[in-house]
Amino acid sequence: MPGQTNDQQDHNGESLTEVDAVVIGAGIGGLRMLHQLREQGLTVQVFEAAPDLGGTWFWNRYPGARTDSESWTYAYSFSKELQDEWDWSERFPTQDEVYRYLSHVADRFDLRRDIAFDTRVESAVYDEDSARWLVTVAGGRRYRCAYLVTALGLLSLPYKPDFKGLEDFEGQWHVTGRWPQEEVDFTGKRVAIIGTGATAVQAVPLIAQTAAQLTVFQRTPNYVLPARNYTLTDFEREGIRSSYDEIWRKARKHPFGYAFDRAGVTKSDVTPEEHQRILERGWETGGFRFVFETFDDMTLDEEANEIASEFVRNKIRAIVKDPETAELLCPKDYPIVSKRPPLGHFYYEAFNRDNVRLVDISQTPIDEITANGIRVGEDEYTADIIIFATGFDAGTGSYNYIDIRGRGGETLEKKWADGPRTHLGITIDGFPNMFMVSGPQSPFGNIPVVVEGTVEWIGNAVTHLRENGLDTIEPTSEAVASWWQLLQDYINATLLPKGRHSWFLGANIPGKPRGVLFFFGGVGTYRKTCQAAADSGYADFTLDSVAPHGQASTAHVGRTTSRPAPQSVS
């Protein structure tokens, strides 16, 4: 019954808890989904493997961790009161501040009571007769629900390369995406960090402040843009508060979910001098505004891109005093933004310190971890602490750790053996009533903005089912195939496929199927497409009702033309 949790025993006498919905994950997506479904009168059980909420913001507490989105858009927009009462302290808030924000949201909306922490979901199996998901968590406790929502995060399963010899290392080692809750003291220590992605770029300048020596192992240099963080004043906060309507209007339309304006300028509109001046202004403004508020063709046009790429290289050469180190830090063989650019907080400046050295492993890879450090070819680099800032198995990674089975017992792992297949990045054919928040093939962009659009769409789909006496929703295989094609078309219209080892192409994980993992058609376009899918009466979906005798009767099979929502089921 809606609104009530129901504990029962099955025919074997084992306990089974009935809820309307199970949500997996208590990060930004899971918390928002819980609130949405609860507001709609559903009983919801959330499972979270970590001992506390936050998802990314629980696990990634490495030194320097903070958002690369401006605080005023890295937030929920569903509650004006929440918006009005929360004060961000900086342009780019720290991990701790985002974690406190999410905790505040959880307390304010009394979310914790429906979250089971330290609870890993082991399997979710769809039962066709009852149109219910059976969810089993570690320890064997079972739950049955009509709706299964995975809010696993797009970058939540850390990737640590399997270097030979780690077990012999006599120092400490840590993975940034599973950073310990206790403080790691670098004072006087020799620290080695492997990786130079967005994570390492944040950690390096801070670790360098206390470590005796910091050795940075770089395989591929990045185009690091200056963040230009600052503390917000009361005056600025008031300005933000009074502009929220405008902020969300812009963010929902923006390709990556940011409250940025379009540049309105392309390379051919300006002289070379003006071009440099505009890039300079973007560089000084900081953050992703360098990309989005300078030239609209930076990610589309090779020449415009190369001007921006060379501009950044020249900045690196100007900042880093040792010319050899500067050249090694300059990306040369791929265009800017074809990999997600990190934001730096004095990253390049850190290489001017006497205690920081860069080791180029682009030609000679790491051979092994030794008892004393890291061996590259003939050279051994001693270390007391090794940090793996080596990224994530993005998009699909965390799905491989739950045994998810849809119709006919088909496993999701098998279904996605060649890469994910979804409709809208939310639903999967053969997996009725399973919804993904920030799943593979959903947009890559500012997460809270992406999440809220998806959560509202899922909430509306559930309402549609319930108001029409329907039990299940599932995309047609044609819709899934079309979505896949659309993703290819969008990414192929950009320079993004040229990125080296890009995680959004699955190219950072050895053996992972290569292919675009996210929707790059833009957050605004995505929102419109999702809205159209609902407005068409879910024409690209099959909506079913389960008859009392347990047999499914098809109420509506997906159509390609617009039609009103079905009103009743025969």
Q: Which of 45, 94, 119, 199 binds ligand NAP (CB under 6 A)?
A: 199
Q: How far is CA 276 from the centre of its chain?
A: 33
Q: Which of 229, 213, 204 is nearest to 347 (CA)?
A: 204
- List C-alpha distances in Å: 360 to 195, 298, 313, 504: 11, 28, 17, 24
Q: Which of 29, 93, 391, 445 binds ligand NAP (CB under 6 A)?
A: 391
DSSP letters of 270-293? S-HHHHHHHHHHHHHH-TTHHHHT
Residue 535 in 3-state DSSP?
A: helix
Beta bridge partners of 373: 382
Q: Which of residues 166-195 bind ligand NAP (CB under 6 A)?
A: 194-195
Residue 148 or 366 having the CB closest to ligand NAP: 366
Q: Which of residues 217-246 bind ligand NAP (CB under 6 A)?
A: 219-220
Q: Which of residues 353-382 bind ligand NAP (CB under 6 A)?
A: 361, 366
Phi, psi of 336 (to 5 degrees): -60, 145
Q: Is 181 exposed, middle or buried (0-12, 13-18, 19+ CB in 10 A)?
A: exposed
Binding map of ligand NAP across residues 461-500, x = CB under 6 A, - = no contact = ----------------------------------------
Phi, psi of 112 (to 5 degrees): -60, -30
Minimum distance from residue 183 beta carbon to ligand NAP (Å): 20
Residue 220 or 370 having the CB closest to ligand NAP: 220
Minimum distance from residue 291 beta carbon to ligand NAP (Å): 14
Q: Which of 21, 124, 148, 155 binds ligand NAP (CB under 6 A)?
A: 155
Q: Which of 31, 168, 9 is nearest to 113 (CA)?
A: 31
- DSSP assignment, residue 411? B
Minimum distance from residue 351 beta carbon to ligand NAP (Å): 15
Stretch that binds ligand NAP, among 115-123, 197-205, 256-264, 427-435 (CB under 6 A): 197-205
- List C-alpha distances in Å: 439 to 256, 528, 538: 16, 18, 20
Minimum distance from residue 509 beta carbon to ligand NAP (Å): 9
Minimum distance from residue 159 beta carbon to ligand NAP (Å): 7
CA angle 268, 271, 274 (to 5 degrees): 115
User: Does the protein bind ligand NAP through residue 161 (CB under 6 A)?
Assistant: yes
Binding map of ligand NAP across residues 499-518, x = CB under 6 A, - = no contact = --x-x----x----------
Residue whose CB is nearest to ligand NAP in the complex, by number: 197
Interface with ligand NAP by CB under 6 A: which residues?
66-68, 155, 161, 194-200, 202, 219-220, 340, 361, 366, 389-392, 501, 503, 508
